[in-house]
Amino acid sequence: MKHKILVGILACGLILFLYTGVQTDTEPKHLVDPQPVLQRSDSIVAPSQLLEADPASGASNSTLTHLKTRARLKERLVSEGFRSGTGLRSGFENDAEEWKFVQTLGPADEDELLAMLLEQNSLSNRVQFHRMLTQCGGDKAAQVIIDTIKSQTGRFGNPAEDHNYYALHGCLNALGPISTRSEIARRFLREAADEEYWKLNRQHKATEYIEPHENRYLASESIKALARGGHPEAMELINTMRQWQPQRAKLWAGALVDAVFEYEVALRGDSVRIGFIDEFTEFLAWGKTDTGRKWKQWSAEMRMLAD
Amino acid sequence: MPACPPARLPLGDCGFRYLPELILLLLLGLMPRHLLAQVPRQTQLWVLKKEFGSTNEIRINNSSPEITIVTLNENQAGPQTEVVGEQKKTTKRSSQYNNIYGLTDYTYWWKYLPETQGFTGMMGGLYRDDVIPYIFHQRKPVTCGWIKANATIDTGAELKKTRADTKIMLRHTSAYGSEKRGVRIAVTAYYYDWVTGSGWVPAGIIPPDQITVLDQRLDCNGQVILKLGSGDFEVTPAVSGNYSFYEFVVTATPARDHHRTWSYHPYLKVGGSVPFKPVDRFNLFYLTENDGCICDSDPRLDTSTGLSNLIDFDSVPVAAELFVYDATKIVFPKPFDSISNPDYCNIVNMEHADALLDAPFADIKMVQSMYWNSKWKDGRAQVLGNNIIITKNAPSNVLMHELGHNLGLDHRNSSTANLMHERGPSTAWEINRAERVAFER
């Protein structure tokens, strides 16, 4: 008898769950997950595994069940006027529209986002998905992005023409907010914040006049991303680097100032949002605060040092 | 020797009475282009020729073609008229000149024609002797009035064609040399009807869409923005429709000119990719949009009606141009000039962009690229300032978009066709009334 009651309760619960799931299909705003879910997992999912999880290529039962209960992400994106394949430019009409949509994303969207990301035939066309993953990506997203960074080979062209170059740097940037949910991302960024890491591991080459600086640029991007994740170790690193010999610190000053700004943004809980608003205006406003003034003053002094 | 005017007394000798002018001319000759642009422009609107006559050899007494040439110099004290006929009178409308912005409210002259002329003819059983002058005499348009008329008058005995034809010319000697400039021409045309016993009486305003100037149709506000080089242009409005007599009020105003200096990162030249030669003027941009839907006088634009959204969303034409000149330092100076270090050529840090924006060596700084936070940037600008950073491949509307920020405008994302849309395509040029105010201020 007890078993029958239990089964009955479970059945009711299942029906209720499915019902509410269907309801949310038509009301995307109910899908908003305001609290970033901290999913820390040591399991690494290879891109190939993610593709296998795609319903079209034979997904697991649990994934299929989940996808059946909510509108496909692709359909939601289409209904919002999103266009893929727009390179470094967002597929949404404006920042506000993009941010509105991104806020509806939750951890459950990660798989489908990654599947869509992997469908893109160029690095630059993946950027828009990297940006969305800053809201909901966890370890899986982190691993895909890190693999992407590590697997780049060959020489990139001039950044003004070869947008894949900046897309690669954007990968690091995206790892910042993801690192709040992914230890994999945090660990990688901490390593990558050291120029030496890139000297040892970088396989790709930048265009000729950027190549001598590429390791520094990649490390700078990693420092900024680490700061954007709000990790205290980022500030420790920044403060250490500020104490370097001026001629050495000079080359990093701009990135460090940006990183301090990103860190303060993260502390107020805006590490994702900052990617979808006019961050430069925020940066200018920050530059008028005590902290901002101090750092900008230092950077200006570094800039004026003779070569 | 005549007495020297008081203002010239300090020179002590009347022989030097024109010395200040000579010095001024010399200075003007040496003045950089962007300063020269502040010199009042010599755009003139004048009536070239005024003819009265008939096509059937019935001569109007004293009606040999009356040629009146009125040269309207800005700020002139009095009219320069040459009128055939004894009875004449001139009145003048107020004239203003704004030396800062170069906006000109032209001076117009209204001339009464002789009240009577020796010609008599029969029309509708009545003897009329002053058909055309009568219109002028009876009606005293508040502003300018030059008549252009094509009338067929049936005298009962014979058909007479009387014609009065006035050509309105625009002399445009731009301070920008051969560069074309925008000129806004506004026309109001009044038409007249013949009323037996009362003569020609004003009957209404000809709709702007029936009027063209230089083959360009007026917008609903009765204006057209033309892009003209130096020279004389006939801007006599052409009227379609069946109007016997009509007269015009014509005004011309140069487009608002904005000036910026520019400089570029030296690597752009090393890479062989500077888009413009250092000695060239950068470009001239010209905004205009005319959907002809909502006129300025539309009551829906009254903010008190609660329908003022139209003010935000309706796009309007604007006469504004940006002239970009070489900065004194056409390539970035230290510490932004390193060729070996591309930090200020390919900008990836906001701090670098901020520092470059603030640097005073030029208003517009051209760089190779800008990218941070996974977002590509075509340009950045100070709000209410002069400074702009722009990437070398940015479409031309980006520069005007950034100029909009300089003039205090914010983003307006209601349509991707808006110039001030944050991510508008290269075809996004539309601005609304509020933005027009900023661009033309």
Q: Is A283 on the interface with B (CB under 8 A)?
A: yes
List of chain A residues whose C-beta atoms are within 8 Å of the C-beta of residue B335:
303-304
List of chain B residues whose C-beta atoms are within 8 Å of the C-beta of residue A287:
354
Q: CA of B342: which chain A residue's CA is closest? A: A210
Number of H helices, E strands in chain B: 8, 28
Looking at residue A23, what is its pLDDT?
A: 37
Q: What is the pLDDT along chain B (441 residues), one digit of tens a residue?
A: 333 333 333 333 434 445 555 554 454 444 444 443 333 334 455 544 333 322 222 222 222 222 222 222 222 223 333 333 332 333 333 222 222 222 222 222 223 333 322 222 222 222 233 333 333 322 232 222 333 333 333 333 333 333 344 566 676 665 565 667 777 888 877 776 767 766 667 788 989 989 999 999 998 888 888 887 777 777 777 888 777 666 667 777 777 878 888 899 988 876 665 665 544 444 555 565 555 567 777 777 776 765 556 667 777 888 888 878 788 888 999 999 988 899 999 999 999 999 999 999 999 999 999 999 888 899 999 999 899 999 988 888 899 999 999 999 999 988 888 999 988 888 888 888 888 889 888
Determine, for residues A299 and B416 on separate chains, whether the beta-carbon distance falls below 8 Å: no
CB-hemisphere CA count at 13 Å for B256? 17
List of chain B residues whose C-beta atoms are within 8 Å of the C-beta of residue A261:
350
Looking at residue B277, what is its pLDDT?
A: 53
Looking at residue B325, what is its pLDDT?
A: 79
B378 CA: distance to closest CA in chain A (Å): 10
Looking at residue A103, what is its pLDDT?
A: 94
Distance, CA of B167 to CA of B235 (rounded, Å)? 8
pLDDT digits 0-9 by tens, A132-177:
999 999 999 999 999 999 999 999 999 988 999 999 999 999 999 9
Looking at residue B124, what is its pLDDT?
A: 27
Looking at residue A133, what is its pLDDT?
A: 96
ipTM over 0.95: no
Looking at residue B372, what is its pLDDT?
A: 92
Determine, for residues A94 and B343 on separate chains, whether the beta-carbon distance falls below 8 Å: no
Q: Is A99 on the interface with B (CB under 8 A)?
A: no
Please report, for chain A, the start and end positions of each structural domain, with discontinuous segments joined by +.
Answer: 42-304
Residue A218 has pLDDT above 90, yes or no: yes
Identify the residue among B350, B367, B377, B384 best suited for mutation to test binding to A, counting A beta carbons within 10 A and taking the highest. Answer: B350
Identify the residue among A83, A86, A89, A94 best suited for mutation to test binding to B, counting B beta carbons within 10 A and taking the highest. Answer: A94
Looking at residue B166, what is its pLDDT?
A: 53
Looking at residue A74, what is its pLDDT?
A: 86
Share of chain A above pLDDT 70, in %: 77
- DSSP-based three-state secondary structure for B231: strand
Determine, for residues A253 and B351 on separate chains, whether the beta-carbon distance falls below 8 Å: yes
Determine, for residues A255 and B373 on separate chains, whether the beta-carbon distance falls below 8 Å: no
Determine, for residues A221 and B348 on separate chains, whether the beta-carbon distance falls below 8 Å: yes
Looking at residue B55, what is its pLDDT?
A: 24
**Which pair of structure tokens corresponds to residue B225?**
């923005």
Q: Which residue has the higher pLDDT, A100 or B38?
A: A100
Determine, for residues A258 and B391 on separate chains, whether the beta-carbon distance falls below 8 Å: no
Q: Is A210 on the interface with B (CB under 8 A)?
A: yes
Determine, for residues B380 and A217 on separate chains, whether the beta-carbon distance falls below 8 Å: no
Determine, for residues A160 and B369 on separate chains, whether the beta-carbon distance falls below 8 Å: yes
Burial of residue B125 (CB within 10 Å: 0-12, 13-18, 19+) is exposed
> Is the pTM above the cut of 0.95?
no
Residue A267 has pLDDT above 80, yes or no: yes
CATH 3.40.390 in chain B: give the residue spans: 257-440
Distance, CA of B41 to CA of A306 (rounded, Å)? 47
Looking at residue A109, what is its pLDDT?
A: 93
**Cα distances (Å, whole numbers) of residue B45 to A53, B165, B172:** 75, 17, 8
Looking at residue B68, what is its pLDDT?
A: 26
Distance, CA of B374 to CA of A89 (rounded, Å)? 9
**Which pair of structure tokens corresponds to residue B372?**
């941070």
Mean residue pLDDT of chain A comes to 82
Range ranked top by mean pLDDT from A1-5, A274-278, B243-247, B292-296: A274-278
Q: Which residue has the higher pLDDT, A23 or B413?
A: B413
Query: What single string gives the DSSP state of each residue in A244-261?
Result: S-HHHHGGGHHHHHHHHH
A185-207 burial, b if ≥16 CB within 10 A, otherwise e? bbebbbebbebebbeeebebebb
Q: Is A300 on the interface with B (CB under 8 A)?
A: yes
* CATH dotted code for B257-440: 3.40.390
- Region of residue B85 (phi > 0: left; psi between -120 and 50: alpha; otherwise: beta): left
